[in-house]
Structure 1
């Protein structure tokens, strides 16, 4: 588990460093523009700032880039919204029906990412900031709102979505506020633990 935590922490630091600008959503003007740009009758109450990315099943690789987004949570639907050249744009949409499960590391109160396990690939969601610090209450809110919207949660105790490959590698680990160091880390493989349960 230490290896996976280090992998996730290292991945988060690398992922978060490569993000675009934050999506504005707090002023009434921002909300009016979002509603207009996205052609929405009304804005959902569940709006959360996140960072996200697709990645692949199989052996975990480093260097995944995340993108700043605003998550709009509605019944049966998660819409990820970006902000480009003064306009709001849909980056991606995921339905609860097309998502095998929402994989939650270490329960709903932890500093780990959340994965949407899709048939073709996982989606990485994090409430981390640009320094790699996870907003744990915001993560809990994301999980609660997505569960209420119909996304099926899956926790480690129900079966893990990763397993060690038996290969150990030397990795340079960036430690926020402490610099960097080399550690031995087990290589992990990601798979869809929910595929046969959906």
Structure 2
């Protein structure tokens, strides 16, 4: 469980390895440029900064490398936008119709990530900064916008997308400003608790 908590809280150094810039997004000029670069019908509203990554179902690995992005939420669609050489570019798009659910750890007001559970793999979304500190109000705003856009929320009480394997491992944990120590960590397996059955 400690390994899962480390992943969820964003305390692993690898979790925050960003490889692009979110770019400017606060002014009307920024949003007009985004509309132009992405060839959108309307200027975007409610753009939010976050970090995201894919990862795999199965035995949970040590940390998740994340990418900086801007989340553009539209009806039925989440577009993750990067900023490269002065232009906005699409990094990924996720339709609500092809997402089984949006797993919300510990309710909509917590310092945990959000997972989009898809048929092939989960997508990790966090409003954490480079030190792993989660912006809770921004996370709540993301969840509200995505729910309004048609993404199906799924809470802990409805079933969790991970379960312990019964295996405990000893791992060296680096603690910023404190050095390192060895901790026992429970190994978890991730699965799609919201998988659609035909």
Task: Give the alignment's TM-score, normalised by structure 2.
Answer: 0.92
Residue 170 (structure 2) pairs with residue 167 (structure 1): no
Q: Give the match's secondary structure for 1:133.
A: coil
Q: What is aligned with 2:111?
A: 111
Residues 163 and 190, structure 1, Cα contact 8 Å, conserved in 2: yes
Q: Give the match's secondary structure for 2:64.
A: coil
Distance in structure 1 (CA, Å) of the matches to 2:175 and 2:141: 27
Q: Deviation string for 1:171-198 (max 9, x for gaps)?
A: 2223344343221010001000000479
Instruction: Tell me how far 1:29 sits from its aligned partner.
Output: 2.6
Q: Give the match's secondary structure for 2:80.
A: strand
Gap regions ≥5 residues in structure 1:
none
Instruction: Tell me how far 1:19 sits from its aligned partner.
Output: 3.6
Distance in structure 2 (CA, Å) of the matches to 1:156 and 1:56: 20
Distance in structure 2 (CA, Å) of the matches to 1:12 and 1:195: 28
Residues 11 and 64, structure 1, Cα contact 8 Å, conserved in 2: no
Quick one: structure 1 residues 60 and 11, their matched pair in 2 at CA, closer, same or farther if it must change by over 3 Å? farther
Q: What is aligned with 1:120?
A: 120
Distance in structure 1 (CA, Å) of the matches to 2:178 and 2:110: 21
Quick one: structure 1 residues 158 and 171, their matched pair in 2 at CA, closer, same or farther if it must change by over 3 Å? same
Distance in structure 2 (CA, Å) of the matches to 1:27 and 1:45: 11
Residues 52 and 125, structure 1, Cα contact 8 Å, conserved in 2: yes
Distance in structure 2 (CA, Å) of the matches to 1:177 and 1:150: 42
Distance in structure 1 (CA, Å) of the matches to 2:174 and 2:9: 9
Task: Give the number of equivalent residue pairs.
Answer: 198
Q: What is aligned with 2:57?
A: 57
Q: What is aligned with 1:83?
A: 83
Quick one: structure 1 residues 114 and 176, their matched pair in 2 at CA, closer, same or farther if it must change by over 3 Å? farther
Q: What is aligned with 2:182?
A: 182
Distance in structure 1 (CA, Å) of the matches to 2:77 and 2:12: 25
Q: What is aligned with 2:21?
A: 21
Q: What is aligned with 1:44?
A: 44
